[in-house]
Structure 1
Amino acid sequence: MAIYYYLYDMAPGEIPEIYKGTSADPAVFLTAAEQTLGKEYSTIKNFLFFLGVPFEWLVYFFILVFGVSKKFEEWSKQTVRFSVGQTAIYLFYLSLLTFLLAFPLQYISYHFSRVYRISAQTFPQWMKNELIDFWVSYVLMFVLVFVLYALIKRFKKKWWLAAWALFVPFTVFMMYVQPVLIDPLYNDFYPLKNKQLETKILNLADKANIPADHVYEVNKSKETNALNAYVTGIGGNARIVLWDTTLKKLNEEEVLFVMAHEMAHYVKKHIYIGIGSYLAFAFFGFWLAAKWMERWVRKYGKQLHIKELSQLRTLPLFLLVISMMAFASSPFSNAISRFEEKQADAYAIEMTRDKEAAISAFQKLAREGLSEVKPPALVKIFRYGHPAMAERIYMMETYPLEVKEGKRKEERSGASAQKSRD
């Protein structure tokens, strides 16, 4: 109720005075109807997010308290004798139950994305992706859970450290194989069809000393009307990917700016910084999870029918603790991400030297995705890994390119004079 009141009544609807009349002012590049639709859609999505997070916690909590997890473990032991089979069966029951309980909120989110014409998916297409998500998550979770509980049995006190030590190579491995094994399950990826544009993008990559042979295009128009591009993977499997919607709705100069932005993530090692930050958070996460779970089992183990931490029935407790810590740490991870995005924006405008293309690209991204140009503070803190669109557009408009060009001329003149004296 508090979140509803905050989003619908308390959150300011006015943009800061500094943006008014500039290219960052929604009134400049959006119609009144587009502004209204963007505000409505963003508020609904934000409310569903803040509703969904505590709902997930309650699901795990009630599965523990009402003995559902205990019953799942008993059924798995009655079915097979081997621990690997018991883990697979228990996890299937738990995954299916949580999937079904979360399905209404997932469907509501899909419904509104269709109503506001962000999603282009039919219900069967959307359901297909939901089922792919379920099975991909199930397989990955099975590997993680089986290893985790084997470590808890083997290392009574330091299992969290052993789990983190194995989590490091697993994370790196997943980042490496995701572009070639997981992403293609959802969409078709292929080298950019427009070879003239690809040549220009690869010239940018060469200018940035990026060893790239291809830019990849992905068929997203069958799913969404929004625009996007991203960098994924590491090492030899790193890819720069453009949605086909981006290619259709942005002109060549705008696409080149977007590509320069994505190249900045590679040049500035943001992917590796992100992995390092994620693993650092995971270290403290595993440690805190171990401490809290041990305390819960000591204090409430009898009521929850839990004798020791190594029992599979404690998994909802582990997932509950991890989910709560992930939410609590999201303001920090989002702040790091927003800083990196600002760096990438600055790098892109320095590389392309095209303010007009940068501004129009961001305006189109906001229009097509019904983005909230200036989100409420709590939404930005907990949800935004990118700066708000108004901030990005205003930064492009006020970025001191001319000043920097002047400085470069002075530096070149100074260097030439010094060379002549030498």
Structure 2
Amino acid sequence: MRRSTALRLAIVIFICINIMIIKSSNGLALRSTNFSTFLTGEEIMVESKEEKGERFYKSDRVVQGLKIVFSLGVPIVILVTGCSSKLRNVSKGIGRTTFIATGIYGLLYTVLDSAINFPLTFYGGYIQSHKFGLSHQPLSVWIKNYFLDLIIGAVGIFLILWIPYFIIRRSPKRWWLYTGIISIPISLFLFYAQPVIIDPLFNEFKTIENKTTERSLIELTQKANIKDCTILKVDKSKETTMINAYMTGVGKVRRIVLWDTALDKLSLRELRFVTAHEIGHYVLAHIKKLFIIQTVMTFIVLYIVHAAAPVIINRFKRKFKFDALNDVASFPLITLIISLCMIVITPTSNAYSCYIERQADAFAIELTRDNTAAISSFKKLSENGIVIPDPDYIYKMWKYDHPPVEERIEFFKNYRPWEQGEELRYEEYIKIKRKY
């Protein structure tokens, strides 16, 4: 096959691999920084009662454990029962071409997998969040978002699943390499598309109505030498009482998004600190660094799939009822291997995430020099949330992608290098007005 053709096809296979990665465990894709996770996890913004924190911890341990079990167990069961090969046969019977048959397989598998996982998805995403005061999102909205997400994934799988299997047949030794190379521009495209195409499907984004607040926040971006960064608000108060902010996008579509709950509950000084934290991720090149890590991990994961799948297929081909990776019935096996990789990677990924969050905290303090606002913003988070009492080490390794709130408040109390005449860590990134 001509190299140019292989590379074009590799573009599409990367999209397919990313769908599987995201489906397995939220993906290798760069995640937006989430201010609400300044507590000890994404789901601990609950009422300020100690016993409820303990109950949430016990509940969430079960939910997280079941998510891992299901991410591995579902593809294993589909493989060893021969269900995958049966789906392939049904798809071939319906589809007249390889493209249609492979797309139908992807559609059937997505629906089957989603149906099996639905009880856990519904409990973890809706029941648990309402039970512990994390959300007041109407059931109708949750269902709408669930099916919108399912439709986007199913349509994507239907349209492109035939491409990776075509390229594996044509280039069985190098398909993973082509994919890794092409993942670089594809990832950049996805970063551009996320804020302007995908996010608006789920929420409404607007400019900040209070122009005094908007000017004050824009002044921070100018002080940090950031251009072409939009500051928006998103309508989350209809779903939750949580406070949150995040960064997303690259280049001219990069933006800092404040939940309307943050604008309602935080003072201007506190909003400036929250915004400064997000600015820190941009100026400290965290996106570039994470992009490099993502690219390296993509190569590694793809190679592991390439190396491990044939060995597993050869060992269990009688049970699986297929004997080659280029058979679409191998799709659950690819998903399984990626899920295993994600489970192994998660602790390291979380540790690095905590590291860059600490850097952004220090930058925000240096940019605003407002330790009081930093502390009070975290205290407001704590007032409406629960810090899990003494979670076990394993839970922290796989759950904590931000440092605990107590640790960060302690840092804010003590980090005042300008008062001791010490050099600022990030002075080179900040326009500092000096008196001469």
For 1:149 and 1:394, how far apart are their aligned partners in 2? 53
- Out of 69, 72, 91, the position equivalent to 2:87 is 72
2:334 aligned with 1:318? yes
Contact 2:357 / 2:403 at 8 angstroms: preserved in 1? yes
For 2:389 and 2:413, how far apart are their aligned partners in 1? 15
- Out of 41, 58, 68, the position equivalent to 2:73 is 58
- Out of 46, 51, 66, the position equivalent to 1:36 is 51
Amino acid corresponding to residue 194 of structure 2 in structure 1: Q
Please state whether the residue corresponding to 1:401 is helix, strand or coil. Answer: coil
TM-score, L = length of structure 1? 0.85
For 1:334 and 1:269, how far apart are their aligned partners in 2? 18
- Out of 197, 200, 206, the position equivalent to 1:184 is 200
- Out of 105, 113, 125, the position equivalent to 1:98 is 113
Aligned to 1:265: 281
Contact 1:216 / 1:240 at 8 angstroms: preserved in 2? yes
For 2:243 and 2:300, how far apart are their aligned partners in 1? 36
Aligned to 2:143: 127
Question: How many angstroms does 1:254 deviate by?
Answer: 0.8
Contact 1:374 / 1:389 at 8 angstroms: preserved in 2? no
- Out of 26, 50, 61, the position equivalent to 1:46 is 61
2:366 aligned with 1:355? no
- Out of 107, 111, 126, the position equivalent to 2:122 is 107
Contact 2:244 / 2:258 at 8 angstroms: preserved in 1? yes
Aligned to 1:5: none
- Out of 239, 244, 249, the position equivalent to 1:223 is 239
Please state whether the residue corresponding to 2:105 is helix, strand or coil. Answer: helix
Question: How many angstroms does 1:111 deviate by?
Answer: 0.7
Contact 1:80 / 1:86 at 8 angstroms: preserved in 2? yes
Aligned to 2:263: 247
Please state whether the residue corresponding to 1:201 is helix, strand or coil. Answer: helix
Change in Cα spacing, 1:311 to 1:224, as seen in structure 2 (3 Å) is same
Aligned to 2:17: none
Contact 2:207 / 2:233 at 8 angstroms: preserved in 1? yes
- Out of 306, 324, 336, the position equivalent to 2:322 is 306
TM-score, L = length of structure 2? 0.83
Please state whether the residue corresponding to 2:236 is helix, strand or coil. Answer: coil
Amino acid corresponding to residue 323 of structure 2 in structure 1: K
Change in Cα spacing, 1:371 to 1:230, as seen in structure 2 (3 Å) is farther
Percent pairwise identity: 34
For 1:35 and 1:250, how far apart are their aligned partners in 2? 24
Question: How many angstroms does 1:290 deviate by?
Answer: 1.1
Bigger proportion of residues as helix: 1
Amino acid corresponding to residue 352 of structure 1 in structure 2: T
Cα displacement string for residues 308-327 of structure 1 (whole angstroms, at most 9, x for unaligned residues): 11010000000000011011
Deviates more, 1:385-394 or 1:334-343: 385-394
Change in Cα spacing, 1:184 to 1:370, as seen in structure 2 (3 Å) is farther
Cα displacement string for residues 206-243 of structure 1 (whole angstroms, at most 9, x for unaligned residues): 00001146311000111222111111011111111001
Change in Cα spacing, 1:178 to 1:270, as seen in structure 2 (3 Å) is same
Change in Cα spacing, 1:399 to 1:72, as seen in structure 2 (3 Å) is same
Amino acid corresponding to residue 158 of structure 1 in structure 2: R
Please state whether the residue corresponding to 1:215 is helix, strand or coil. Answer: strand
Question: How many angstroms does 1:126 deviate by?
Answer: 0.8
Contact 1:120 / 1:224 at 8 angstroms: preserved in 2? yes
Contact 2:309 / 2:325 at 8 angstroms: preserved in 1? yes
For 1:126 and 1:48, how far apart are their aligned partners in 2? 18
For 2:309 and 2:129, how far apart are their aligned partners in 1? 38
- Which stretches in structure 2 are left out of the alignment for 5+ residues? 1-38, 40-44, 428-436
Contact 1:42 / 1:371 at 8 angstroms: preserved in 2? no
Deviates more, 1:84-93 or 1:306-315: 84-93
Contact 1:151 / 1:162 at 8 angstroms: preserved in 2? no
Please state whether the residue corresponding to 1:308 is helix, strand or coil. Answer: coil
2:97 aligned with 1:82? yes
Contact 1:225 / 1:369 at 8 angstroms: preserved in 2? no
Change in Cα spacing, 1:247 to 1:33, as seen in structure 2 (3 Å) is closer
Question: How many angstroms does 1:51 deviate by?
Answer: 1.7
For 2:161 and 2:406, how far apart are their aligned partners in 1? 43
Deviates more, 1:311-320 or 1:233-242: 233-242
- Which stretches in structure 1 are left out of the alignment for 5+ residues? 1-23, 25-29, 412-422
For 1:93 and 1:286, how far apart are their aligned partners in 2? 24
Amino acid corresponding to residue 121 of structure 2 in structure 1: Q
For 1:149 and 1:382, how far apart are their aligned partners in 2? 33
Change in Cα spacing, 1:89 to 1:369, as seen in structure 2 (3 Å) is farther
Contact 1:217 / 1:242 at 8 angstroms: preserved in 2? yes
For 2:389 and 2:212, how far apart are their aligned partners in 1? 33
Amino acid corresponding to residue 413 of structure 2 in structure 1: E
